[in-house]
A = this chain, B = another copy of it.
Amino acid sequence: MQRFINNPDDIVDETVAGFVRAHSDMVKLDAENNRVVLSQWAGEKDRVGIVTGGGSGHEPAFIGYTGKNMVDATAVGELFSSPTAKSFHDCIKAANGGAGVAVLYGNYAGDNMNVKMAAKMAKRDGIEVKTVVANDDVCSAPATEREKRRGVAGEIMMWKIGGAKAATGASLDEVIATAQKAIDNCRSVGVGLGPCTLPAVGHPNFEIEPGKMEVGIGHHGEPGTRVEELKTANEVADDMTRIVLDDHNLPAGTEVAVLVSGLGATPVDELYVLFDRMASQIEAAGLKVYKAYVGNYFTSLEMVGATLTVLALDDELKPLLDMDTACPGF
């Protein structure tokens, strides 16, 4: 394992310490819980607070999207594990400015359970909490069972738009409705070419034979829908675009935002190669690429692979996506 590590048990603490130190103009540690990263703007009076959280190892997600007009408080879990209910609860308390708190998170069993418990605890504190559960990962369940799908890189779009909506002074119900619309308008797919290794485990979390790829892979190596021969970049881009657009079924003329993220060890140039072909296919389908993000936005340690997220825009979402932010992840 060719990696920069000390004691594997300390990686998350050390990552968070380095993160808040590097970006102290935008974020800080919670005074009492070092698994809670706060925006310097958290708790602004009468503004809806935005909370998220998730396992570590996906940097810059989740902590990197904490900041101005974005997420106010982010709960930090162990590598690939949910944060605790206590950390989500501490996030809710810190993000609360009296107008309620929107918890915008991904659909994983641990996160679902811990957010629910945290919301109950916050209710006893007198804080109004509502949630949106991201489920943009097309291959993780059929369209008829969308509520079973996992949340992946579309969460970044949900946080961006939810945070911007809160910044406009919208009510909790309005923020929730808009964040829900943002994730409902997202579809994502991942393709894996190589596994990653949790340092405490010491061996890869799954296998991909040389010359093969896994289509529909999840952010923790969850199995995809098929393993097949590794194709050319253009063929992979075509497959990914088709999977997303077939499920999306958008009317011609729709403007979209496109996010192509590396999974950790894919060269950045190849993400642009994929994007160029995807954008051509998206436009060939009669859609218009309004905005694009290409880079390492939501990773899985040193997994080799990429994800595509397509967000359908409308007149409400466009200015929210365009609103200025200050967070380390963008």
Taking the complex as formed, is A36 at the interface, i.e. its CB lies under 8 A from any CB of chain B? Answer: no
Q: Which residues of B contact A266 (CB under 8 A)?
A: 3-4, 302
Given contacts A2-B304, A18-B294, A21-B279, contact A264 B268 (CB under 8 A): yes
A273 touching B14, Cβ below 8 Å: yes
| A165 → chain B closest CB, angstroms | 23
Taking the complex as formed, is A301 at the interface, i.e. its CB lies under 8 A from any CB of chain B? Answer: yes
Among residues of B, the one whose C-beta sits closest to the C-beta of A19 is B272
B18 touching A276, Cβ below 8 Å: yes
B4 touching A270, Cβ below 8 Å: yes
Using a Cβ–Cβ cut-off of 8 Å, how many residues does chain A contribute to the interface with B? 59
Which residues, 29 to 66 on A, are CB-close (under 8 Å) to B? 56-57, 59-60
Among residues of B, the one whose C-beta sits closest to the C-beta of A301 is B267
Taking the complex as formed, is A306 at the interface, i.e. its CB lies under 8 A from any CB of chain B? Answer: yes
Q: Which residues of B contact A56 (CB under 8 A)?
A: 269
Taking the complex as formed, is A177 at the interface, i.e. its CB lies under 8 A from any CB of chain B? Answer: no
- Contacting chain B: which of A100-108, A126-134, A136-144, A229-237? A229-237
A279 touching B18, Cβ below 8 Å: yes
Taking the complex as formed, is A252 at the interface, i.e. its CB lies under 8 A from any CB of chain B? Answer: no
> CB < 8 Å: which of B60, B267, B271, B275 contacts A21?
B275
A residues whose Cβ falls under 8 Å from a Cβ of B = 2-6, 11-12, 14-19, 21-23, 56-57, 59-60, 79, 193-194, 196, 208, 210, 213, 230, 232-234, 236-237, 264-277, 279, 289, 292-296, 299, 301-302, 304, 306
Q: List 11 A-B contacts (CB under 8 A).
A: A2-B194, A2-B304, A3-B304, A6-B234, A14-B233, A14-B273, A14-B276, A264-B268, A265-B265, A269-B301, A295-B296
